[in-house]
Amino acid sequence: MPDAHDPSTFPGPLKGLRVLDLSTVYAGPFAATMLGDLGADVLKVELPGAGDSLRSLPPYKDGVPLWWKVTNRNKRGITIDLRRPEGRELLGRLLPDYDVLVENFRPGRLDGWGITKGWMHEINPDLTILRVTGFGQTGPYNHRPGFARVFEAMTGFTNICGEADGPPLHLGFPIADAVAGLFGAVGVLAALYQRHTGGTAKGEEIDCSLMESMFRIMEFLPIEYDQLGIVRQRSGSFSQYAAPGNIYKTRDGKWASIAASTQSIYERFCRTLGRTDLIADERFLANPERVANRQALDTIIRDEIAKRTLDELGASLDENEVGFSPIYDIADIFADPHFAARKAVVEVRDDELGTVRMQSVAPVFINSPGTVRHAGPSIGQHNDEVLQALGLSHEDIAALKEAGVI
C-alpha cells in the first residue's frame, strides 16, 4: 500500500510527462501547476536576479513570497536569460527531454530572441507548445498588455458584478488568470491525447487567451443577447436565473447563502421556513414567476430568516436538504470538518519556510491520485542539478553564472 505520509508514493496520472514552464505571474504558471499536481515533472525557468514577477506580489513572510509558493508548487526551478544566445543554447539542450512547453510572452517576443516554433520543433518535433496571452496570438489587440481585470471587464463579467444601482465591481482576486490556466491545461491534455492516438504528425501549438477563456464561461449571455436582445446587468447577490437565491442575514448577525433553484427544493425550503402558503401563491408557482417577482419573494424570506440564528437555520436547511452555506472566510475553511475530511488543506514541505499549508490537488483521482510534493522553489534552486544532467561541469556552470546567463 502507498505510504500516505510520503507524497512520492502517489505519482499521479501524468507521471512521465515533462513540462518546461517559461511563463510568468499567474495564468501560464497555473496551467503548468495543474499538470504538476497530477504528476507531471515541471521545470520552471526564470530570469536570473529578480525572477518571475509573481515573487514581487504580496503576501510575504520574512521576505518569502507566499503566493509564489502555491502557484509554482510541484516544480523544480532554474534560471536562464533566454534573451541571450547562451540562454537560447541552454534551452535548446533542454527541449529534447520535454513533452510540453508553456510560455506567456507577448506574441513575437520569443521569436525576437530566436526561439521560434520552427526552431523548437526542429529540435523536438513532438513538443506541444502552450501559448497563454491576454488577447491571443492574432487580432488587432494582440500586442496590447493585459491583466486579469482587463479581461474580466472586457468579457462582460465585471458588468454583472455589483448592486443593481451601483457601479460594476471587480472581485478581489484575478479570476481570469485562473480560468485561462484551467483552459490551458485542458488544451495541453487534448493535444497530448491527439498525439497519443496518432491524430497529428507533429507537436501542437495552442493559442490560449484570457479574453476567450473568460468569454467562454459567460455561457448564456451571448445567446441571450443574440436571440432576445437582452443586455444582462447587475443584480447584487440575487441569482440571475433562479429564485429564491441570495445572501441573507440571520438573527445573530451572520450571513448565509441560500439557493433553491429547483421546484422540489423551493417547496422544501418553504416548509423549512413554515411558509407552505408560498408554494401555492400564484406569484411564486414556478421558477419563471418567482424570478419575475423575486423582490417580493425575497422580502418575505429575508424577514423569516432574520428570526433564526445561523445554527438554527443551518440545522433545519440541512435536515430538509436545501442548498445552503454560511459565508466563510479562510479561518472558517481551516476549521470546517468537511474540508478536513476531504483533506482539502494539506501540509507541504518547503525549503525556506519549513511546513506550509495550502489547497490539495483537484480533482481527486481514486486509483492514481495527484499530490502536492513540495512548495514553489527558490530562485535557481535546481540550477546545478539540471545543468549537470545536461553534461555541464561545475566550471561551466560557474562561468554561466558569472556571465549572468543563469
Q: 46 with 181, same domain?
A: yes
Q: 27 with 114, same domain?
A: yes
* pLDDT band with cut points at 50, 70 and 90 for residue 3: very low
pLDDT at 9: 64
Q: 118 with 36, same domain?
A: yes
**Residue 212, domain member (yes or no):** yes
pLDDT at 7: 52
Q: 97 with 131, same domain?
A: yes
Q: 174 with 80, same domain?
A: yes
pLDDT of residue 399 exceeding 80, the answer is yes
Q: 357 with 321, same domain?
A: no
Non-local (6+) Cβ contacts of 361 within 8 A are: 12, 37, 38, 369, 370, 371, 372
Q: 272 with 187, same domain?
A: no
* pLDDT band with cut points at 50, 70 and 90 for residue 5: very low
Q: 297 with 157, same domain?
A: no
pLDDT at 2: 45
Q: 86 with 31, same domain?
A: yes
**Residue 105, domain member (yes or no):** yes
* pLDDT band with cut points at 50, 70 and 90 for residue 241: confident
Q: 57 with 200, same domain?
A: yes
pLDDT of residue 346 exceeding 70, the answer is yes
Arithmetic mean of pLDDT, 179-192 = 97
Non-local (6+) Cβ contacts of 87 within 8 A are: 80, 81, 405, 406
Q: 24 with 121, same domain?
A: yes
* pLDDT band with cut points at 50, 70 and 90 for residue 1: very low
pLDDT at 6: 53
Asked if residue 232 lies in contact with residue 221, where contact means CB atoms within 8 angstroms, the answer is: yes
Amino acid at 384: D
**Residue 263, domain member (yes or no):** yes
Residue where a domain stops, chosen among 326, 358, 373: 326
pLDDT of residue 4 exceeding 80, the answer is no
Predicted TM-score (pTM) of this structure: 0.92
**Residue 163, domain member (yes or no):** yes
CATH number, domain with residue 302: 3.30.1540.10
**Residue 1, domain member (yes or no):** no
Q: Per residue in 53-107, pLDDT tens? A: 999 999 999 999 999 999 999 999 999 999 999 999 999 999 999 999 999 999 9
Residue where a domain stops, chosen among 292, 326, 360: 326
Q: Per residue in 368-394, pLDDT tens? A: 999 999 999 999 999 999 999 999 999
pLDDT at 10: 72
* pLDDT band with cut points at 50, 70 and 90 for residue 220: very high
Arithmetic mean of pLDDT, 211-240 = 95
pLDDT at 72: 98
Residue where a domain stops, chosen among 277, 300, 326: 326
Active site residues: 177
**Residue 139, domain member (yes or no):** yes
Asked if residue 192 lies in contact with residue 198, where contact means CB atoms within 8 angstroms, the answer is: no
pLDDT of residue 219 exceeding 50, the answer is yes
Mean pLDDT of the chain: 94
Q: Which domain holds residue 79?
A: 7-217+342-402
Q: Which residue, chain included where needed, has cell 544532467?
A: 389
**Residue 333, domain member (yes or no):** no
Arithmetic mean of pLDDT, 246-273 = 95
**Range from 72-81, 137-146, 177-186, 194-203 carrying the lowest mean pLDDT:** 194-203
**Residue 227, domain member (yes or no):** no
Asked if residue 166 lies in contact with residue 155, where contact means CB atoms within 8 angstroms, the answer is: no
CATH number, domain with residue 107: 3.40.50.10540
Q: 347 with 319, same domain?
A: no
pLDDT of residue 189 exceeding 80, the answer is yes
Q: What's the structural domain count of the chain?
A: 2
Measured CA to CA, the distance from residue 225 to residue 369 in angstroms comes to 42
pLDDT at 115: 98
pLDDT of residue 317 exceeding 50, the answer is yes
pLDDT of residue 142 exceeding 60, the answer is yes
